[in-house]
A and B are shown apart, each in its own frame.
Chain A
Amino acid sequence: MAAALEVRNLSVYFQTPEGEVQAVRDLSLTVAAGEIVGLVGESGSGKSVTALAIMGLLPPSVSRTSGSALLGDRDLLALAPDRLVKARGRDISMIFQEPMTALDPLFRIGDQITETVRAHHRVSRRAAADRAIRILTDVGLPDPAARVRAYPHQLSGGMRQRVMIAIALVSEPAVLIADEPTTSLDVTVQAQILGLLAELSRAHGTAVVLITHDLGVVAETCSRVHTMYAGEIVEECSVDEALLAPKHPYTSGLIQAIPRAEKRRQPLYSIPGRVPPLTAMPSGCRFEPRCEHASESCRAAQPLERRDGRAVRCGRHGELTLPGAASGVDQ
């Protein structure tokens, strides 16, 4: 299938008082139309920075990117500023973690949708308003014809996230980046929003990059997953491969750290130590200081090795058999 978004060798640098630091290193990621790909990692792994870099939303005065993000034949990272503004919201959209603060509190939600339509298409006010009601129906907002006149504070968190999705998808973009879209929602609302994203992606062929810290969310929603650690992708494979037989010790550690009903009160695996600061990244494998399988060879830089549609950034992956989410469960 043709790639809707192809990110190649993306690196992101920030200027800090201590000098330039690299927040994302050499990240490549491909999403096909109608596919939902997970980008999973803990805080500080660089997943949100990756998303903002692809969207061109990092402040240019303190950040710098290299690499490319191909949307069809256009490279988002090389587009002129005015062309990039036009592409945002029309060809590639983004939704955010906090639906409570992501909408402008002073404008009616209908107006927030119609201004998006009118920023990208030459249509009448009337047509844009009709479009707003239709997209709100699509995202499952009850009573959309009346709700267009509501202000964000009159809606619940789940409703607001539906409105955010409506704004993002109203121009039928090829790609949607969803950055922790359900993290601040109740679990029953989360299930509905994830279901909605999957349904819309299937119906419109939208390619979705789903950023989350929750492997459960990935398992429920995505087909493939990229695991990020300290600014790098450490593993890329199908969700089932990652959960059944992870090849990177960090992926395995994340899985083992989740409480499981079958192992009630048994000690969970807890990855020792913490993510190194950007100013003091190990020169070799970045996970080496926290890895219980580390050996002498791990002090050298680890390339992302690709084989059979999987990619792993671990020199020892051939010799290790790491536990996944099904180990200890009756098969």
Chain B
Amino acid sequence: MPGRGPLLSASGLEVHFKLPGESGRLRAVDGVSFEIGRSEIFGLIGESGSGKSTIARAIMCLEPINGGQVTLDGTRLDQLRGKALRRQRRRVQMVFQDPHESLDPRMTVRQAIEEPLRLGRTGSRAARRARVVDLLNRVGLDESYVGRMAYTMSGGQKQRVNIARALALEPELLVCDEAVSALDVSVRAGIINLLTSLQRELQISVLFISHDLGVVAHLADRIGVLYLGRLAEVSETESLSARPRHPYTEMLLAAEPQPRPSSHRAARAPSISGEAPSAARPPSGCRFRTRCRYAQERCVQEEPALRPLEGGALVACHRAEELELTGRRA
């Protein structure tokens, strides 16, 4: 029975890793809270070391969490074990970055898509096979693909098979971790179109994780911006691009290469500086302060909490109200 609240909510999520040879712990995800609504596409964006893939793995219960909770439709996933966990877990499915690595090259397409159905003991053999064909059609591949071996297919075709396999158990939430990042531009466009239309038809929720702001902004209703294991900002897509509220979002927008003619493109802001420090030793106070051109004494002392602003955005910046930040260059 679907409830009324958000489909998935993570609150105060913490995932730590022990560092080999060092006494400290890497807080890869350090107190992250967000919600994904029903049939919403929620985008997570961040650079390497931001913890975005770890969040995906934690939601999939592939990574033990050190704090906080993950709730799916009112059920605490992090407290479930064994059969109960398996039953809930099939409601969330994942598509990974590398289409080549995530398919067994010696499996046929039919075997790959049928596998979750067989493990889930769903229907008769004939019914399962019909379902495989139906799923293939949904992802834009025809029936002739059922006997194909994975290694004979292109990256785009494999990613379609991966999506079909993820959809086999009719999940309510699809987690896409850099699912289009390894693809060529023209192939990527096809997969993005596919995800858009699937979401519309099936009304499923999607957690779309990527380092590419352009792709996330194309798909997502709302976007969370991660920096060193913490959320810097969560906003509606349009307002995030037009009026970012966190200096890091502003920097990301400025850094994004714009495929536009010079007449339609503002010069790149010269303020992009520095690299993210190691997540194992985040700076005191605000984690972004070492690269922030607006940083003040308070930002060194005090870690800003993620707080709501007027207009609905959530932002973790002491100076959010007073700053006038620049949106996407255009």
Contacts and interface: CB of A to CB of B under 8 A. Distances in A.
Our verdict on whether A and B bind, yes or no, reads yes
Interface of A: 42-43, 156-159, 186-192, 194-195, 213-220, 239-240, 243-244, 253-261, 263-265, 267-271, 274, 324-326, 329
6 contacts: A219-B265, A220-B268, A239-B262, A243-B260, A267-B196, A325-B260
B184 A43 contact: yes
Given A42-B186, A191-B268, A270-B190, A186 B276 contact: yes
Contacts of B156: 274
A255 B258 CA distance: 11
Contacts of A265: 196, 218-219
Given A261-B241, A264-B237, A270-B186, A220 B252 contact: no
Interface string B224-265: 000000000000011001000000000110111111111111
A217 B218 contact: no
B328 interface: yes
Contacts of A258: 185, 189, 214, 259
Question: In the complex, which of the residues B213, B214, B258, B259 has the most CB atoms of chain A within 10 Å of its own CB atom?
Answer: B259
A191 B151 CA distance: 36
A187 B47 contact: yes
B256 A244 contact: no
A326 B261 CA distance: 7
Given A259-B218, A270-B189, A271-B186, A187 B213 contact: yes
Contacts, number: 141
A237 to B, nearest CB: 12
A188 B259 contact: no
A187 B260 contact: no
A192 B196 CA distance: 33
Given A258-B214, A265-B196, A216 B188 contact: no
B154 A274 contact: yes
Q: Which of B212, B265, B270, B328 has the largest count of A CB atoms less than 10 A from its CB?
A: B265
Contacts of A213: 184-185
A261 B330 contact: yes
A259 B192 contact: yes
Contact of A268 (B48, B189, B328): B189
Nearest to B197: A267
B262 A188 contact: no
A261 B217 CA distance: 7
Interface in B179-199: 184-190, 192-193, 196-197
B310 interface: no
Given A191-B257, A195-B268, 8 more contacts: A43-B184, A188-B251, A188-B272, A214-B259, A219-B259, A240-B261, A259-B214, A264-B237
Contact of A267 (B48, B188, B193): B193
B146 interface: no
B211 interface: yes
B191 to A, nearest CB: 8
Instruction: State which size class the interface on B falls in.
Output: 35 or more
Nearest to A192: B272
A186 B260 contact: no
A191 B272 contact: yes
A188 B47 contact: yes
B141 interface: no
Q: Which 4 A-B pairs have the closest CB atoms?
A: A216-B257, A259-B218, A270-B190, A257-B189
A139 B197 CA distance: 46
A224 to B, nearest CB: 13
Nearest to A262: B330
B295 interface: no
Given A216-B258, A270-B193, A326 B264 contact: yes
A325 B238 CA distance: 20
Contacts of A244: 261, 263
Contacts of A326: 260-261, 263-264
A209 B264 CA distance: 24
Q: Which of B262, B263, B328 has the most CB of A within 10 A?
A: B262
Contacts of A187: 47, 211-213, 252, 255-257
B259 A218 contact: yes
Nearest to B47: A186
B261 A188 contact: no
Contacts of B218: 259-261, 263-265, 268
Contacts of B263: 240, 244, 326
A253 B184 CA distance: 12
Contacts of A156: 275
Contacts of A214: 185, 257, 259
A157 B238 CA distance: 31
Interface string B34-46: 0000000000000
B215 interface: yes
Nearest to B214: A259
A269 B189 contact: yes
Interface string B271-299: 01101100000000000000000000000
Nearest to A265: B196
Chain B CB within 10 Å, residue with most, of A158, A213, A216, A269: A216
A243 B259 contact: yes
A156 B211 CA distance: 17
B186 A254 contact: yes
A191 B255 contact: yes
Nearest to B270: A195
B255 A190 contact: yes
Given A188-B272, A258-B214, A219 B252 contact: no
